[in-house]
Each structure stands twice: as C-alpha cells, then as structure tokens.
Structure 1
Amino acid sequence: MSDKRVYSDNPRVLAVQTLAKIKNGAYSNLQLNQVIKQHQLSEADKRLLTTLVYGVIQHRMTFEYWLAPFVGDKKIDAWVRELLYSAIFQMKFLDKIPEHAIFNESIEVAKILGHVGTGKYVTAILHNIGRQGLRSTSDIKEPIQRLSIERSLPIWLIEELISQNGEETTRAMLETINDAPQQSIRVNTTLASDKEVEQALATEKFTTVKSRVAAHAYIVSGGHVAGSKAFHDGLLTLQDESAMLPVESMRLTENVKTILDAAAAPGGKTTQIAQSVGENVTITALDIHEHKIKLIRSNAERLHVTEKIHTRVLDARKVPTEIDQKFDRILVDVPCSGFGLLRRKPEIRYDKTLADVENLAHLQFEILDSVSQNVTDNGMIVYSTCTILRQENDDVITKFLLKHSDFELVPTQTSKNLKPNRSENVLHVYPNDYQTDGFFVATLQRKIPTDSV
C-alpha cells in the first residue's frame, strides 16, 4: 500500500488500493464489496472498479511476464506494480479506452498515491511500453510453462488438471477460466414467485435471464443487485447457479423431516433447503466459528426462514459424539481448495499448493466419515465441493465407499437434468460447461439393513 492516507472516489485509485490490500492477504470479493459500500460511486464507476480489480488478479502472471523487461531488477513499491498492471490490463483488455487516456489517468493515480517522482517513473515505464510493445508469449518454448503464463495459473495446477482430464479438456476449461463471473440470484420462493422477482428487478432497471442450470435462478445484469430493494426485502439472494445444485440433489420429499447442514456458513444452501421444505421440517446448521453462525442467522432473517433453522457452533467431525440424533438428509458441503471459483476468487490460484489440496482431502474425508454415523437407514448424504480437483471429489467418495459398505453411490439428480448422458453417478460441473463456478456433487444413500427387511 501507498504510505499516503488518501480518500478518493476515483475508481482507478480505489482499484490500486484494493489490489494492494488483496495482495497483502485480503479476500477479493469481501474487500471489493467493502470498498463499494464505503464510497459514493456511480454504476459505471462500480463496474470499472470491479473490472480492474478482477482483471489484474486474473492475469497477474501474464502482466508480470509483460512488465519484467521494463522494470528489470529495480525494486518498486507493491502499489506501483499494481498500478502498472492495471494500466496494462486496460491497454490489452478494455478496447473502449484510448491509450493516451489510460496513460494520463495512470500517471495521475501515481501522483495522488505517491509523489512527483513516482509520477515520472510511471510515465517513463508506460511510454516505453507504448513505444516497444509487450513481448509475445510465443517466446516461451515449453508448452505448459507458456500456458501457465497465458492463463495465469501455476504449473502444478495445470499439470494436475491435464493428468486428470486430458490436455484438450483442460485447455477448453482454461479458455474460460478468466472470463468475468456472471451475477446470479436465487428467488426466495418463501416470499415471492419467479415472475414477481422478475418484475421487481425490472422495476429497478435490472435485466434478468432465466438460468439453464438451476431452478428459481436468474442471471442478472444492469447493476449491483445486492443493493436492490428486492434483495433488501428478502425476495432473492445472491448465489452461483452451480452452488444451488447440491440442495437440488437432496431429494427433499415430504417424507424428509430432519436435515443436517454440516458445514453451513454463510447459509446460502441452508436457506435454500429451508425454502424447499414444509413447515414441520427441522434443519440443523453447523459451523465451527461463531461469527460464521451469525452470518447464517443474518441470511435466514433477511429471507424470513429463521423458524426452520437451528444453528450451532460445532466441528462437523464431532457430530457422532455431540448430536444424539439421526437425520433423513445430510448436506456435506465441505471446506475445499475452491479451484472451481477462479472467476469469482481469482487470487486463490496463487497461494494454494498440492499439499494444501491433499490436506483438505483428508479433512473432507474425516467430516464425511463422521457425519455418516448420523444418517437414518435409507437416508441420504449429499457431498459437494466447489473445486475441480479429483483428490477432493471422486477420491474422497471412493475412499468413503471402501470403508462404508452400508452406503451406495446413487445418481445425482438436478432440476434441469444436467448432463443426462454422463456415464458416472456423480456430477462434475466445470467452469466452461455453463459459465458457472466449477462444482462437484455426489449422492450417497444408506442401505436398509437386510435383517430389517
């Protein structure tokens, strides 16, 4: 961060400040939302701020490669680097802004956040880039290294995806990995119909397109929908389309009376369950952190479904010893590496390792193994992650079934019958399938003991 304490509503200044904080460990989506709330920005400025922040993070390795010849070994402040990256992003990806305007605005930001000397340095770098151009990635001879720089993904992750999916499928996936995330909502059917929400958003000048992935879902454009009256009134909630699929897969029939959401925060899926069941159903929602339990309660209050949800601070691995109850359905939406969320949380690609993935897979199995003891006979567990790596998905399920012969893997069902011709019972949703987050869903059913038949 720049040492100067600067308050500005200039979206380019805010972008550089936000990027510096994210580089220092802040989460992109949370930091960006906080900045938008704290500043009086027009819709156009909000869009520019969001585009700059996500664009720089998504392409950071590419920009580092492009900028390297111009800065050499010179040590520059982190915020200055972010400023130069944001200028390169505008030059390469925002064709409606003339180069001279990009240069002038960037130099002005350098003066605001730094001093005259910083402005001169940024001026010199940008003019050199303008004269010489940016080097081609075709200069990188090793194919995987070149793909890594072009898509801004670590080599280990690309190699892992290729080993699991093949090179052609991986390249198709990575082709879309840096696209802008779509804004999607789920209608709160407890309070409103799909049509009523369409009309409410239209009144506020939003455009809606019905989801082809999930029920009661829309892609929304035309502004920041979390600031809408419809959102404030609880008629809808923000949720990625693929994140709605685990609850759709729970087969919530009228015979289902008890439900456990084993890792529930921030409550998107918990509230989705609540709006999908009758009044006489109880939902127990767990999380290991008290502040996250408060998020679940807050979301439930806004959506008017608090009476169905009982929250509790508890590590899901302690369910068998702490909860003396069997459940008809258990949702196990486990903590994961999040590599299905690269559009929405692009910074995670830079700070996670294969060792992290393997550690998470161990935790995921422990959670699934533990809560399975609290499933009724013929009851179901839906296991889901927002990652695209098989260590956390298929491998966890395979390991579980090897230990638990009293469970079987049954076909994962969704309202839109996604991938009907797939050969496997589990559901893999990759980012390029429907332009959604990547997700994995598996449905496990406990067998009825033969001696009770």
Structure 2
Amino acid sequence: MTKDNPRALAVESLTRVANGAYSNLQLDKMIAKSDLNDADRRLLTNLVYGTIQHRLTLDYYLRSFVKPGERLEPWVENTLLIALYQLLYLDRIPKRAIFNEAIQFAKDNGHEGIRRFVTGILHAIDRQGVPDLNQISDPLKRLSVTYSMPTWLVTRLTDQLGAEKTQSILATINQPAAQSVRVNTAVTTKTEAKAELEMAGFTVTESEVSGEGLRLDGQPASRSELFNQGQMTIQDESAMLPVEALQLQPGDQVLDACAAPGGKTTQIAAALDPEKGGQVTALDLHEKKVKLIAKNAARLQVADRVNAMALDARKVDSEFSDATFDKILVDAPCSGIGLIRRKPEIRYDKTPQDSEHLQTIQLAILDAVSRKLKPQGTLVYSTCTILATENDDVVAQFLATHPNFESVRVTTTKNVKADRETATLSIYPDDFDTDGFFVSAFRRKN
C-alpha cells in the first residue's frame, strides 16, 4: 500500500478493523507511518470513520448491485464501500475522481477481472442510483439500514425508550464527536485555562454538562501547551459526571475499582488533598494498564495522591479490609454503546449476549467492593452504555440483594437534567451532543 494515498490507506485500515483492530488505534498507526499532508490525513480519517459509521447502509446499497450470495474479497468490498461513501456523503470530491481512484486501485492490486468488476459496479450505480430506503417495509429494518445500526440494538432501544427517542439517538450517532477537555484543577483554574487556550487560537466553549469541561475547536487539543504541561486532559464531558457524583471531600480515601487508563482517577485525585490524607487507590487487571494510570497521574501532577495497583476488582478481599473507603467508584466494564461516535465499529461487534454477560461481571464487582465502603459512604456505579441491561437492571438487582444500601439521587456540578424523575442519571448522545453515559449512586446504611 502506498504511503501517500489516503484512499489506499483507508482500504487497508478498514480491512484490519474488520479483522479485529480498533478503528482509532489503527488509524493512529496508519497516520504515523504515512507520508500524508494535513489535508490527506483529514481525508483518510473521514473515509475510515465515515465508511464504518455508515457500513450497513453502504452494504445494503452495494448488495443490490452484486449477485445474491457472491462473496467479495475484503479489499475489493472496502474499495467499493469507500467509493460509495464518497459518492453519497461527501460533496467536495468529483464523481470522476472517485471512480478513477477506485478503478485504478483495483487495477493496481488485482487482476483484470477485478478491475472490470469494480468498473461495472460503479457504472451501474451511476446509471441506476441507489435503492430508496423508504421502500423497506419493516420499520425496524428501515431504521437499522438508514442509520447503520444492527436490528437487535434498534429493537432494544425502541423497547426501552420508544420510537421517537430512538430515532433521535440514531440520527445523532453518525455525526462527528465534539472535542472536549477537562481542566486539571489541581494546577490551574478553568478561567485561566480558557484564557490561555483562546490566546493559542482555540475557539473555547464552556461545557453545558460538566463543571470542569471545555469544548475546543480549531486544532487538536493534544497540540496545546496546556495539554503538554498537564493543565488539561482530553475527556468527554459526560465521562466527567461519575466523579462529580461522588461529592468528594479533600481528605477522602477513594477506591477507583476499574480505573485504566486513568481519566477518572486523575479527576478524583485533583479533588483530593494529600496533606489532609486524601488518596485514590486505582485498580486494573493488567500491569501494563496500571503503568498507564501512573503515567497519566504523573503528567497531570497528581501522582502524590494516586496509588495504582494491578488487581481484579472482584478480588478486593485479598487486599483491603471491610469499611476502608469513604467513596468508591465502579466505572464498570460495559458494552460501550454510548461511545459509538468515537468507536463506530462497536455497534457491529456487540451482541445481546455480550450485554448479559457483562451484567454478571458488573454485579460481581459491585458485590465485592460494596463491603469495602464505610457506613454512610457513597458508591457510584457508572457505564458508557445506554442499554438498560447494564444500567437500570444492574441497579435494581444490586439493591435487591444488598439491603444495607439505598439509592440516592445523582448530583452533579451543573445539576444536569434537574427535572428528571429518576435518582439515576442517563445521558443519551442526542441530549447534549456528548457520549452516552449512565450514573447511579448508593449510600451504605449504618
């Protein structure tokens, strides 16, 4: 694959993602080893994310021009899907250029038969146009194909939230994610950070959702001096809410039970005062990820109040006595459906069985760590999914089996969704143009 052709690199990236690579990590690697200029890097990113986001839609269109049951080589299929994506979703690239690039790529990487096949498909699409999705009679399938979301997820969300809210969420998830950062209040203030970022050329908007959050436009946040100096970190606005829900005090002893890569750990640490005994113990299964937590804590200048260790949160009995911690955060392993805009392939990788299996793990973690909480202490359970199986259902089952805990209303700095009727807080991608998140809080009774 040529290092300076964004379309060729997009085909390679998509083929690797289909074989299990994460889109964001794969794209970072591809850009790092390429010889692309800024414009072509942006095009590569657009082609990869856009094709993944709309894959079910694009595949539906493509299959109407391919013989039933005909299997395509992955690189040939991705070449055609990328061409379709450009043709249907991008308006600045001329059709002739899209077709010529795809046909030339097929010629360079395959035999004459593949070149003729790709040429024929593209010309047929040009002559006939793509099928009208409104002609799909099954309403769930129509939503699935239109928004490129597996039918099982459309069904789950419709049952859970109703058709109108589901369609609103689906219409949002294929839009670009906003760039947001959390100001590191251990070393600066939001006012100071905002002023410095604006002087550096960023367009800065205060978050509607989180107390320490800012939205940035203009350039990647990682290029900012504030990021390099540890005065801010890249974090979604809704991901900041679980720590806000802990209602931390400077001297608290805190357990972050599922901590890597450390975004919430460092947010907790910024609210603690080591001179008053404040400390956060951060757990992860893998030593490699524990090192990443420690590295992030050092970059954000809060290492003096972070104790990172490799431990399965379900085995905390081996390390900690009961009633050790004032506050506990369980930001649980989950299906990640709330992160679809940032990791679009998630929607195709997950199954209903995955969600049910994760529920078992989530409940096991909650059961284990709950014994380590002091009476009147706060336990916050959160996920980055929007499926009730891993959210409200987990809360109900935990309370049913732990009568010494009670649900308390989630409180956040900006009092998000103040008019909601539930104690728990659900953030959907269409609510504030953020990731989807779920936050619940429990108090241990005396």
Please, what TM-score do these two structures have when normalized by structure 2? 0.95
- What's the offset of the Cα at 1:40? 4.2
Please name the residue that 2:134 is paired with. Answer: 138
Please name the residue that 2:426 is paired with. Answer: 428
- What's the offset of the Cα at 1:113? 4.3
In 1, are the aligned partners of 2:2 and 2:8 still within 8 Å (CA)?
A: no
Distance across 2 between alignment mates of 1:90 and 1:29:
20
Distance across 2 between alignment mates of 1:35 and 1:196:
36
Please name the residue that 2:258 is paired with. Answer: 263
Please name the residue that 1:276 is paired with. Answer: 271
For the pair 1:290 / 2:273, whether they are aligned, the reply is no
Distance across 2 between alignment mates of 1:42 and 1:192:
35
Please name the residue that 1:451 is paired with. Answer: none
Please name the residue that 2:124 is paired with. Answer: 128
- Cα 1:41–1:215 change in 2 (3 A) is farther
- What's the offset of the Cα at 1:210? 1.6
Q: Which segment is superposed worse, 54-63 or 167-176?
A: 167-176
Deviations 1:304-326 (A, max 9, x none): 21111111111101112322261
| Aligned amino acid, residue 238 of structure 1 | I
For the pair 1:150 / 2:146, whether they are aligned, the reply is yes
Aligned match for 1:93, one of 89, 92, 101: 89
For the pair 1:229 / 2:225, whether they are aligned, the reply is yes
CA RMSD of aligned residues (A): 1.7
Please name the residue that 2:155 is paired with. Answer: 159
After superposition, where does 1:152-231 map in structure 2 within 5 Å?
152-231=148-227
For the pair 1:309 / 2:306, whether they are aligned, the reply is yes
Any stretches of 5+ residues in structure 2 without a counterpart? none
Q: How many residues align?
A: 442
| Aligned amino acid, residue 368 of structure 1 | L
Aligned match for 2:318, one of 321, 328, 350: 321
Please name the residue that 2:59 is paired with. Answer: 64
| Aligned amino acid, residue 89 of structure 2 | F
Please name the residue that 2:381 is paired with. Answer: 383
Secondary structure of the residue that 2:64 maps to in structure 1?
Answer: helix
Please name the residue that 1:102 is paired with. Answer: 98
Secondary structure of the residue that 1:70 maps to in structure 2?
Answer: coil
Q: Which segment is superposed worse, 362-371 or 135-144?
A: 135-144
Distance across 1 between alignment mates of 2:338 and 2:238:
10
Deviations 1:243-273 (A, max 9, x none): 010011110123x420000000010100111
Aligned match for 1:241, one of 233, 237, 240: 237
- What's the offset of the Cα at 1:360? 0.5
In 2, are the aligned partners of 1:43 and 1:223 still within 8 Å (CA)?
A: no
In 2, are the aligned partners of 1:249 and 1:412 still within 8 Å (CA)?
A: yes
Distance across 2 between alignment mates of 1:227 and 1:314:
34
Deviations 1:192-227 (A, max 9, x none): 322333344345433222211112212222233224
| Aligned amino acid, residue 129 of structure 2 | G
- Cα 1:116–1:209 change in 2 (3 A) is farther
Distance across 2 between alignment mates of 1:112 and 1:304:
51
In 2, are the aligned partners of 1:271 and 1:305 still within 8 Å (CA)?
A: yes
| Aligned amino acid, residue 373 of structure 1 | R
Please name the residue that 1:31 is paired with. Answer: 26
- What's the offset of the Cα at 1:429? 0.4
Please name the residue that 1:3 is paired with. Answer: none
For the pair 1:21 / 2:16, whether they are aligned, the reply is yes
- What's the offset of the Cα at 1:106? 2.7
- What's the offset of the Cα at 1:180? 1.3
| Aligned amino acid, residue 423 of structure 1 | E
Distance across 2 between alignment mates of 1:425 and 1:305:
32
Distance across 1 between alignment mates of 2:40 and 2:228:
22
| Aligned amino acid, residue 309 of structure 1 | V
Distance across 2 between alignment mates of 1:201 and 1:35:
29
| Aligned amino acid, residue 300 of structure 1 | A
- Cα 1:390–1:198 change in 2 (3 A) is same
In 2, are the aligned partners of 1:208 and 1:221 still within 8 Å (CA)?
A: yes
For the pair 1:396 / 2:391, whether they are aligned, the reply is no
Distance across 2 between alignment mates of 1:317 and 1:437:
27
Please name the residue that 2:342 is paired with. Answer: 344
For the pair 1:77 / 2:73, whether they are aligned, the reply is yes
Q: Which segment is superposed worse, 197-206 or 130-139?
A: 197-206
- Cα 1:429–1:166 change in 2 (3 A) is same
Secondary structure of the residue that 2:407 maps to in structure 1?
Answer: strand
- What's the offset of the Cα at 1:355? 1.1
- Cα 1:203–1:36 change in 2 (3 A) is farther
Distance across 1 between alignment mates of 2:25 and 2:197:
24
Identical positions, percent: 49
Deviations 1:48-95 (A, max 9, x none): 222111111111111111001222244322012112111111111111
| Aligned amino acid, residue 321 of structure 2 | D
Secondary structure of the residue that 2:173 maps to in structure 1?
Answer: coil
Distance across 1 between alignment mates of 2:325 and 2:287:
23
- What's the offset of the Cα at 1:169? 1.6
- Cα 1:45–1:227 change in 2 (3 A) is farther
Q: Which segment is superposed worse, 70-79 or 176-185?
A: 70-79
Aligned match for 1:50, one of 45, 53, 72: 45
| Aligned amino acid, residue 430 of structure 1 | Y
